[in-house]
Amino acid sequence: MTKGRLITFEGPEGAGKSTQAAMLIARLEARGIEIIYTREPGGTKLGEAIRGVLQYNAAGEAPCPESEVLLFEASRAQLVRQVILPALERGAWVVCDRFFDSTTAYQGFGRGFPVELMETINRFAVGEAVPDMTILLDVNVSLGMQRCAKRQAGQAMKYDRIESEALEFHERVRQGYLELARRYPERFRQVDAMRHAEPIADDVWRLVRDAFFPEG
């Protein structure tokens, strides 16, 4: 049985990760590939419960920074064992909207936790589930937050805890992602997400096609 592939989308707020994940999935499914889409935090009943705590203080209080890290990792560990690894083992492909690099970028570079510590905790949480490709959708902070504001307008949604952070925090996160791309060029592929969705999707598809379908 052929092992599946794990592709993760990363990037600052407003980078268009969910949109690009959906567009890539459509192209992969057109090739007859079984795709499992998931997101972080979430993707399991436990993970979705944790998502509510992390995004909107559903427990009635905000988690302290250390609890925030461990809640993200608990959600991730459940997702890996319950969804990702079983899918990969049966040959399905998994497309994930955020994965462990988010914790390194947001809690490491953004919050100021030691990056090496974040990466150690990440390895414990995911075990063997390392992405075959991580697509970094890079957008500057001002445009990204403008997109978030536009998305919120006219909707009942409100900014979550992370989106509500100061611009300086989001700039540290973006620079953290760029540093991770420099550190791990073997799996990171950086895409300019300052454009409309269609040319971004074309670039993403070229990267995936060249890596996994060299025959065309």
Tokens 């973006």 correspond to what residue? 174
pLDDT per residue over 92-112, tens digit each? 999 999 999 999 999 999 999
State the Cα–Cα distance between residues 194 and 213, nearest whole angstrom. Answer: 27
What local confidence, expressed as pLDDT, does residue 154 receive? 62
What local confidence, expressed as pLDDT, does residue 81 receive? 98
Span 25-44, average pLDDT: 97
Supply the CATH classification number for the domain 6-210.
3.40.50.300
Span 44-66, average pLDDT: 90
| pTM, entire model | 0.94
State the Cα–Cα distance between residues 152 and 56, nearest whole angstrom. Answer: 15
Report helix angle 141-152 to 167-183, nearest 10: 120
Q: Is the pLDDT of residue 60 over 90?
A: no
What local confidence, expressed as pLDDT, does residue 1 receive? 44
The least confident of 10-14, 119-123, 153-157 is 153-157
Domain definitions of the chain by residue range: 6-210
